[in-house]
Copies of this chain bind each other. A is one copy, B any other.
Amino acid sequence: MFEIPDKQIHIRLSAHISKKLKVKCAAESTSMQIFVANLIADKIQGSPKKQPAEKSQKAAIIELLHECPILCDVDEIELGNLAEVASIVHYTKSQPIIREGEVPDSFQIVAQGLVKVYKASPSGKEFIIDIRRRGEIFGEISAMDEVIVHYASVQAIEETDVLTISKKDFVTFTAQNPKVMARITSLEMLRISHLYSKLINLVSDKADQRVAKVLYALTCKYGSNLQFTHKEIAEMSGTTDETTTRILTSLKKKGILRLHRGNLEVLDKSKL
Cβ A196 vs Cβ B151 within 8 A? yes
Residues of B close to A135: CB separation below 8 A:
none
> How distant is the Cα of A81 from the Cα of B127 in the complex, in angstroms?
46
A267 part of interface (Cβ distance < 8 Å): no
> How distant is the Cα of A197 from the Cα of B199 in the complex, in angstroms?
11
CB distance from A108 to the nearest CB of B (A): 15
The chain B residue with its CB closest to the CB of A203 is: B238
Residues of B close to A141: CB separation below 8 A:
189
A46 part of interface (Cβ distance < 8 Å): no
Name the segment of A21-29, A55-63, A176-184, A225-233 touching the other chain.
A176-184
The chain B residue with its CB closest to the CB of A174 is: B182
The chain B residue with its CB closest to the CB of A141 is: B189
A76 part of interface (Cβ distance < 8 Å): no
A40 part of interface (Cβ distance < 8 Å): no
Residues of B close to A148: CB separation below 8 A:
189-190
- Which residues between 193 and 209 of chain A lie within 8 Å of chain B, taking CB atoms? 193, 195-205
Name the segment of A116-124, A158-166, A251-259 touching the other chain.
A116-124
